[in-house]
Structure 1
Amino acid sequence: MPERIRTRFLVIGSGVAGLHTAWRASEHADVLVTTKRSLFDSATAYAQGGIAAALGAGDSPELHRRDTLAAGAALADSAAVTVLVTEGPARVKELHTAGADFDLAPGGDFKLGREAAHSTNRIVHAHGDQTGAEVARTLIAKVQESERVSVLERTRVLDLIIEDGRCVGARASVAGRATEIIADATVLATGGCGQLYRYTTNPVVATGDGFAIAHRADATLADMEFVQFHPTALDTPENPLQLISEAVRGEGATLLNAAGDRFMPKRHKLAELAPRDVVARAIFAEQKKGTVFLDARKIGKAWPTRFPGIFAICEARGIDPRKQLIPVTPAAHYMMGGVVTDLAGRSSIPRLYACGEVARTGVHGANRLASNSLLEGLVFAERVARDMQQMTPLPAEPPRGHWRVPVLSDRGAAQVAADQIRAVMWEYAGIARTARGMRSCITRLDQIEDRLPEGATEERNMVQTARLIAEGALLRKESRGGHYRSDFPRARSAWRGRHIEW
């Protein structure tokens, strides 16, 4: 018989979206946060560039809105984008007041950086290139200060508990013990799925759990074909790969091919600051002729102060970016699609919310604008926390279930399956896709799932989320934003504004 925990609100995940939701919701009620590893393990801490917000002189939410809609390639939701850019500045200021040590100009204003496809400087950053780590530190401190937030680390949520069409909590493995967590409202803030790909900047916990868990519960998902590949990860044999932030190109770094020639000015009018999908495809094409490099030598003596984290990463791998070129490769970075929500973060299942990367709020469309991800996490987590306050308590607790935590029967076979998923997805569902490749991908994924050993719950989530991506990519017979079909290389008007839903 499983153990049972009762809480007012359950938040699954400990990145910016989950932590902010927990902090703000705890002002009114008890909150339980579960996380697969520790509170510190999330993609948030890896975010280098910063948070986009219209805080500078001459900038405005309207300009930020236009840039976001342009990047979204006619698939972003206008109302959601308006919420994002209008409420974003207040969320950033609140975080600063809460203790986030953002970089400031001598006059005390935020020091603002520039990133790709932004029409002006609007990127708030901390300690140069360690914004995500500072955001995580600040929010973790707030959560730990609150007497109304409990945290369960090393807890794997296996499935949602659905009763009479409503979400009433989740089944979880808490240190291997079968546990039912019953809640008046449940928030999926489980992050992304970069670990479905051989090359990724995402931490090892980003295995797409939330997408698969929501799909099995029959929540509506959409836009799963839109995976963003960051153009410039450090090209080394590691997992995850280290990110070389967009902000480095914002400071004037250029891309060179194996022959030492700059190639981006011929590809796009914004050159190195073109949208991420354009830059990633250009690098991918040049890699067929050899290694691609980032030339950031012009930053010179400012490297250790402007980008201390990236400078240390390069130095640890024997590269001095002040004098040497940096080898780079595209890598899976961000999922634009996910659990469909309204502007309050409500999913299609009553009492189930989603926010952060696992959610499809509509703000990113087919391609996320640089540094809008932390912003989305803050803005929509705030909206979720406010909306949950209105949620009435469950009229009655659901009956206790009869189930157990499946024990992993063959760890080696599970690891082999995970590696196969990553290889198949990179080859067929990566930067350039075709119908033939997608069909092969889906067939291979089916075979991998059939061979999964008992208890391989994470690998099951991986393969099910991977299949959603591949099926969406096969159905969308065009190229748009982060989705590129080499057999349909242009956007088609018939697909403009159309979303593939599950």
Structure 2
Amino acid sequence: MTSLPPLGQLAGQPLIIGGGLAGVMTALSTARPCVLACPGRLDEIRPPLAASMLAQGGMAAAMGADDTPALHAADTLAAGAGLCDATVVDRVTAAGPAAVERLTALGVQWDRQADGSLQLGLEAAHGRRRIVHAGEDATGATIMRALVARVRRTPRITVLEHAHAHDLLVRDGGIVGCVLVVGGQTVTLSTPAVVLATGGMGGLFADTTNPAGATGSGLAMAARAGAVLGNMEFVQFHPTALSAGPEGQRLSLVSEAVRGEGATLIDETGERFTDELATRDSVSRAVWRHMMDGHSVYLDARTALGAAFPRHFPAISALCAARGIDPATQPIPVRPAAHYHMGGIMVDPAGRTGVTGLWAAGEVACTGLHGANRLASNSLLEAVVFGRWIGQQMDDGLPQAATLPDVSLFPSDPAPSPVSLHLRRIMSRHAGVIRTGDDLRNGLKQVLPIANTDAGLVCAAILLAALSRHESRGGHFRSDYPHAGAMATPSRFSLTDLHARLAEMRDTFSPAALNERMPS
């Protein structure tokens, strides 16, 4: 059982939920005593606690002599397919160089050239080499190790490990506390300020590169608290997950940086079939279509890297070796997998939701940076920048909350139930790389009976948003609406909206309604 500090000592402190880069950066960026709650050991790399630890490619920032934040912003806007917030894009890309310097000051050792300059990589849809790396293809883990070490040395940060947030407590439109399960005990923690940094929802799909715990629980909590969810239909599928291992297990990522170094996508005949450095959504669709036509797909680095592969990509090389694959001499079998969610909790340019005292940062947030399609390696940058901004806001003062509830502690179940493989198969089948209206409706019909659960609510929101967007844009592609239309606006759902739409769908799916539509 996890040892808990006296709860009275923690009452009133800001609560940051999430042990990834956004959560840790927020905790390190405020001068206030705060509580950092994470679902496992904060420094646990395998199995990964957070997707941040799995990031291979690196962090995007305009650090090269031939680069500027304006060029970075232009590439971000182009990838976002008309749904980015241009003001947010400008602010975040402008903050990129300072974010690199801030991480350096916190102990991150970047990969450098012999002359001491940063080693800059190229990834798809970037017009310049601007991807900074640490530990070659283990950038996320390298960054997190440095920041977690700093957290451990910072007495004002109380870390609650093996802590699963269950619900937010709201009174008079503002946060007053949070219910967590910590090591088998339910804890009600009083606080006027909560930062949700709970990560994404890729774990709701059968094929995913995300940790098993990335099932959208933060989205469900925020919606119940009164926050608005936006752009839920926009799920980015990475085109090159290592296609090996049993169904339902997290797939290892083969970084976009491998294609940036010249690796090509081929089929079993050895033929190339797409532009490897196009945007992720178009590459994923090309791979998916080729697979649906009966082909196997491989990433071939034999000519571009060959014997140099293990030196440039040691972590990926080790992952392949564990599956009996030598990338220096063999093509790597790959397939698309759910990788990143561009949608999330709607926040303003400061990371605030519409609920007083509630912020969101990292993948759980919909900031306007990514629009309909995230530009590669912008996610780590967003987590660092928004984490820093939110932490600094807290130093300016916490919201004046209504009377805080008393803290309490009582026995409970040790952890939430895992999401079933059956539900994950429904999402992959009906809301995957290529969608249709019929598929989305069929998926909704199957999800409706569990829409009162966290996972069911998030799945329903994704399916409904995708069904409502009658066009293809960025990470959302419908073969029955294959072209971009006039819907260049974010989609938004409050919990009330969602319940109303689901009630309509229940009526649509009722036996009487189905019988009425049956041909005579």
TM-score by length of 1: 0.92
SS of the residue 2:114 aligns to: coil
Quote the residue 1:431 is aligned against: 433
Residue identity in the other structure for 1:224: M
Contact kept, 8 Å, 1:13 with 1:36, in 2: the verdict is yes
Contact kept, 8 Å, 2:372 with 2:473, in 1: the verdict is yes
Q: Which runs of 5+ in 1 are unaligned?
A: 265-270, 451-459
Give me the identity figure in percent: 45
Deviation at 1:115, TM superposition (A): 0.1
Deviation at 1:170, TM superposition (A): 0.8
Quote the residue 2:19 is aligned against: 14
Report the CA distance shift for 1:54/1:475 in structure 2 as closer, same or farther (over 3 A): same
Quote the residue 1:248 is aligned against: 258
SS of the residue 1:311 aligns to: helix
CA RMSD across the alignment: 1.9
SS of the residue 1:162 aligns to: strand
Counterpart of 1:273 (choices 274, 277, 285) is 277
Matches of 2:68 and 2:93, distance apart in 1? 9
Report the CA distance shift for 1:327/1:344 in structure 2 as closer, same or farther (over 3 A): same
Deviation at 1:500, TM superposition (A): 3.3
CA displacement 1:112-145 (0-9 Å, x = unmatched): 0000000010000112100000111111011111
Quote the residue 1:484 is aligned against: 477
Quote the residue 2:463 is aligned against: 470
Q: Which runs of 5+ in 2 are unaligned?
A: 1-5, 495-520
Counterpart of 1:297 (choices 286, 292, 302) is 302
CA displacement 1:224-246 (0-9 Å, x = unmatched): 00000000000012411000000
Residue identity in the other structure for 1:375: L
CA displacement 1:257-289 (0-9 Å, x = unmatched): 23221001xxxxxx1000000000000011121
Matches of 2:133 and 2:480, distance apart in 1? 40
Residue identity in the other structure for 2:480: D
Quote the residue 2:237 is aligned against: 229
Residue identity in the other structure for 1:17: A
- Return 339-348 or 113-122, whichever deviates more: 339-348
Contact kept, 8 Å, 1:8 with 1:30, in 2: the verdict is yes
Counterpart of 2:442 (choices 416, 436, 440) is 440
Matches of 2:13 and 2:389, distance apart in 1? 17
Residue identity in the other structure for 1:489: P
SS of the residue 1:363 aligns to: coil
Report the CA distance shift for 1:106/1:403 in structure 2 as closer, same or farther (over 3 A): closer
CA displacement 1:322-357 (0-9 Å, x = unmatched): 000100000000000111111111111011000000
Counterpart of 2:60 (choices 46, 52, 61) is 52
| 1:287 maps to 2:291 | yes
Quote the residue 2:424 is aligned against: 422
Quote the residue 1:496 is aligned against: 488
Matches of 2:200 and 2:308, distance apart in 1? 33
Deviation at 1:497, TM superposition (A): 3.0
Matches of 1:321 and 1:393, distance apart in 2? 53
Matches of 1:339 and 1:17, distance apart in 2? 14
Question: Where do residues 387-398 of structure 1 align in structure 2 (5 Å cutoff)?
Answer: 387-392=393-398, 394=400, 397-398=403-404
Matches of 1:119 and 1:340, distance apart in 2? 29
- Return 77-86 or 175-184, whichever deviates more: 175-184
Residue identity in the other structure for 1:369: L
Residue identity in the other structure for 1:444: Q
Matches of 2:109 and 2:328, distance apart in 1? 26
Contact kept, 8 Å, 1:185 with 1:391, in 2: the verdict is no
Report the CA distance shift for 1:448/1:290 in structure 2 as closer, same or farther (over 3 A): farther
Matches of 1:213 and 1:405, distance apart in 2? 21
Report the CA distance shift for 1:293/1:393 in structure 2 as closer, same or farther (over 3 A): closer
Question: Where do residues 88-167 of structure 1 align in structure 2 (5 Å cutoff)?
Answer: 88-167=96-175
Deviation at 1:408, TM superposition (A): 8.6
TM-score by length of 2: 0.89
Contact kept, 8 Å, 2:187 with 2:409, in 1: the verdict is no
SS of the residue 2:291 aligns to: helix
Contact kept, 8 Å, 2:15 with 2:34, in 1: the verdict is yes
